[in-house]
Amino acid sequence: MSSQRIHTLDVTAQNLKSNARLSLKDQQLRTNMRSAMDSLISKRLISMPDEDERENLRELGNKIKASALSQLPDLLEQLESNLTKQGIQVHWASTTEEANAIVLNIAQARNAKQVIKGKSMVSEEMAMNEHLTEHGIEALESDMGEYIIQLDNEKPTHIIMPAIHKNAQQVGKLFESRLALPYTDDVDSLIQSARSILREKFFQADIGISGVNFAVAETGTLLLVENEGNGRMSTTVPPVHIAVTGIEKVVANLQDTVPLLSLLTRSALGQGITTYVNMISAPRQPDELDGPEEVHLVLLDNGRSQAFADSELRQTLNCIRCGACMNHCPVYTRIGGQAYGTVYPGPIGKIISPHLLGLENTPDHPSASSLCGACGEVCPVKIPIPALLRRLREENVKSPKQQPQIMAGQGSRYSNKEALLWKGWQAFNTKPLLYKTGTFLATRLGQFTPSKLGAWTQNHSAPKPAKRSLHELAKKHLEKKS
Amino acid sequence: MSAREKILASLRQSLEGTQPLADPFDASLVDKPWRYCPAERVTRLKELMTAVHSEVHLTRSAEWPQLLHELLTQRQINRLLTAPSTTHGQAFSAYCQIQDSSLKLLAYDRPIEEWKRELFDDVPASFTGTLAGIAATGTLVVQPSPAEPRLMSLVPPLHIALLKASQIYDNLYQAQQAWPRPMPSNLLLISGPSKTADIEQVLAYGAHGPKDLIVLLVEDA
């Protein structure tokens, strides 16, 4: 069984290449991923059959996010002011350490022992579970997929479907070994077992944690999207609710959530809407009988302001976390999400992770793409992911000393040899005498090109230079004409 | 410098010399493709909600209490959480009295802390009203209130909701125009019983919330 699991991977972002090689050999993983992604691709298309409707909405989604980002600091202040007025406490964190300290402070002030979590990718960025556990607080995931991978000490493989790399037999065996339940691969029974365990945890929890899909500045509303009801449980049953989110999740007006919601749920799962859309604008009011007494919002930067500083890279922050780019990515489908070693895998992961972790920690991510363009074509908010990947490749090979420094870890793939080679190439192509001599020699000595050229000739035949250069042919042609 | 000041200063510096982009919202893009005539609204809502495992019963103002009572009897449910202060709660309670029903009506009349165990373990069904319906997506708009608190539509395994046909909007955009402002402390869109596809994308109902959702759609109201 252990050979079918991939948490033997060294799950750090540094090892993308070696992780990818291991994952490619994992037949179970590849079968599970292929069938899941094929199904998600077709569901999305079925839910967006009218091309005009779809494309107009993507354009609108893009503009709404661009407009929100163009006034981001003002919207954040408006959001903070409205939430505060309505009784929700707002906290700011530049780093994940600061965010963890804020959460821990709230927990310790309430003497909390048990925390139940709805799905939140930002809490994954923070490694919040580990942090709380270190301080003696149990942090339990309640999203079915997150619960499964937490049981197996794994990291999410997909931002929407964290356990999509496992099949029902694997989950059945996991429940058998970790929860001492009789083995079954019947999905309904597995879900009902998890439901009854987690219901008790919701009942006991001192604090509920959630993410946020959209934060509305105009009304001071946190909007959460989900199918399972664990998000509603986490934000309603415990006496304290802490929402954690990135600073880019704010939109100006409540009506902006109409197109964004429709884009999000259809792009992610091919659903016209999720089972629950939960809009929270205040804690329990004096005349209300349930809901949390305290609601907190933690706004996390963690590298986002670095992406924000560059108008091209800023588009990375349009992302509404639907996962469509990974579902359509030929690389992601083959290697799975864990090989990336980052919280956000796939195409969006490759353009956001370098800002969160620095290029030095994600050196292979910008180039782990064939630039086929599928991600950009399906992105509901039209992030030009392939263009941003190429941009990051440039930042990745700039001299580490070159100013201005746009990215942390700039030039992590910089090599003197390569820089020199490009300088030579530049000289060759800009100095006519050098170019003419060079092409003359190459065409005349072409027959001496070796037939084995390392990695290139493993899959290709060796290149043979033409007998005459294009310049020579053109010259001859013109002479003949005259 | 606090994290707040640091983040805002950095964002402001990055925007120096730029102007906010105009509000690009275009209502026609979210409204026009999703319009229906009144009869279509009812059929579409019913069709979409049924497709995600909800039961939708078309009924009339004079008939729904009897229908509700029958549905509960069929399911052998003998305890129902209702809101006695609402019109629909009163109507059903009156019906039960006349029928001398053995159904026990429970009220959410004290803070959750005082009866959490009972709500989690001994309440098989709840009955609430709705603020509106949405035809485009097959959705109920539910506004929790002191009479019908947030957990009423979440914890019991069966949730029954009363929806007036006249309250069904074409789409989310239109429904949103009628929402109370300022926004209530909690507002919900509910489109079926709770579900998950987290294992192998196999759909399973009754993940964490209700396993069943029944909508009583009152056509003459």
pLDDT 10s digits, B27-75: 999 999 999 999 999 999 999 999 999 999 999 999 999 999 999 999 9
Q: Which two tokens stand for residue A54?
A: 């779809």
A vs B: CB pairs below 8 A: 258
In this prediction, residue B92 has a pLDDT band, given cuts at 50, 70 and 90, of: very high
The Cα–Cα gap between A386 and A315 comes to 12
Smallest CA–CA distance, residue B185 to chain A, in Å, is: 4
- Residue A412: CB partners within 8 Å, gap ≥ 6? A358, A359, A360, A363, A396, A400
pLDDT in tens, B98-153: 999 999 999 999 999 999 999 999 999 999 999 999 999 999 999 999 999 999 99
- What's the CA gap between A60 and A189, in Å, rounded? 42
The radius of gyration of chain B's CA atoms, rounded to the nearest angstrom, is 21
With a CB cutoff of 8 Å and minimum separation 6, the contacts of A452 are A462
CB contact under 8 A, B185 and A281: yes
Q: Which residue of B has its CA nearest to A95?
A: B3
Nearest by CB to A228, from B13, B24, B194: name it.
B194
When CB atoms are compared, the residue of A66, A93, A168 closest to B3 is: A93
pLDDT in tens, B186-220: 999 999 999 999 999 999 999 999 999 999 999 99
Residue A146: which region, alpha, beta or left (left: phi > 0; alpha: psi -120 to 50)? Answer: alpha
User: Partners of A193 in the beta sheet?
Assistant: none
- One digit per residue, the tens of pLDDT, for chain A of length 482 reads 333 333 445 567 888 999 999 999 999 999 999 999 999 999 999 999 999 999 999 999 999 999 999 999 999 999 999 999 999 999 999 999 999 999 999 999 999 999 999 999 999 999 999 999 999 999 999 999 999 999 999 989 999 999 999 999 999 999 999 999 999 999 999 999 999 999 999 999 999 999 999 999 999 999 999 999 999 999 999 999 999 999 999 999 999 999 999 999 999 999 999 999 999 999 999 999 999 999 999 999 999 999 999 999 999 999 999 999 999 999 999 999 999 999 999 999 999 999 999 999 999 999 999 999 999 999 999 999 999 999 999 999 999 999 999 999 999 999 999 999 999 999 999 999 999 999 999 899 988 888 888 888 888 988 888 889 998 999 999 999 88
User: In chain A, where does the domain assigned CATH 3.40.50.10420 lie?
Assistant: 2-305
Does the CB of A123 have a partner CB in chain B at under 8 Å?
no
Domain A2-305 falls in which CATH fold? Rossmann fold (3.40.50)
Q: With an 8 Å Cβ cutoff, are A275 and B52 in contact?
A: yes
Q: How far is B115 from chain A (nearest CA, A)?
A: 11
Residue of B nearest to A73 (CA): B8
Cross-strand bridge partners of residue A221: A216
A415 min Cα distance to partner chain B (Å): 30
- Partner-chain contact A73 B108, CB within 8 Å: no
d(CA B192, CA B48): 9
Residue B111 and residue A290 in contact, taking contact as beta carbons nearer than 8 Å: yes
Does B139 contact A273 at a Cβ distance shorter than 8 Å?
yes
Pairwise CB contact (< 8 Å): B138 & A255: no
Nearest CA in chain A to B188: A278
CATH of B34-218, one of 3.40.640.10, 3.40.50.10420, 3.40.30.10, 3.90.1150.10: 3.40.50.10420
CA distance A21 to A405: 33
Would the CB atoms of A305 and B192 count as touching at under 8 Å? Answer: no
Cβ of B10 within 8 Å of Cβ of A308? The answer is yes
Q: Crossing angle of helices B3-14/A72-85, nearest 10°? A: 150
User: What's the confidence (pLDDT) of residue B22?
Assistant: 96
User: Distance, in angstroms, between A353 CA and closest chain B CA?
Assistant: 19
Q: How close B62 comes to chain A (CA, Å)?
A: 30
The residue in chain A having the minimum alpha-carbon distance to the alpha carbon of residue B2 is A92
Interface of A with B in 2-31 (CB under 8 A): none
CB-based contact B181 A70, cutoff 8 Å: no
What was the pLDDT predicted at A7?
A: 42
Chain A, window 252-311: residues with a beta carbon less than 8 angstroms from a chain B beta carbon: 252-256, 258-259, 261-262, 269, 272-285, 287-291, 299, 301, 305, 308-309
- Of the candidates B48, B108, B207, the beta carbon closest to that of A289 is on B108
Identify the sign of the CA torsion B70, B75, B80, B82. Answer: negative
* Residue A474: per-residue pLDDT: 94
Asked if A262 lies within 8 A of B186 by C-beta distance, the reply is: no
Q: CA A186: distance to chain centroid?
A: 31
Asked if A188 reaches chain B (Cβ–Cβ under 8 Å), the answer is yes
**Who contacts A433 (Cβ-Cβ below 8 Å, separation ≥6)?**
none
Residues 6+ apart with CB under 8 A from A418: A397
**A261 to chain B: closest CA residue:** B172
Interchain contact A60–B (C-beta under 8 A): yes
Respond yes or no on whether ipTM tops 0.85.
yes
| Token pair belonging to A69 | 């980002």
Minimum distance, in Å, between the CA of residue B47 and any CA atom of chain A: 13
Using a CB-CB cut-off of 8 Å, the residues of chain B touching A53 are 29, 33
CA B81/CA B156 separation, integer angstroms: 9
Rounded to a whole number of angstroms, the distance from the CA of B191 to the nearest CA of chain A is 5
Q: In angstroms, rounded to a whole number, what is the distance separating the alpha carbons of residues B161 and B126?
A: 8
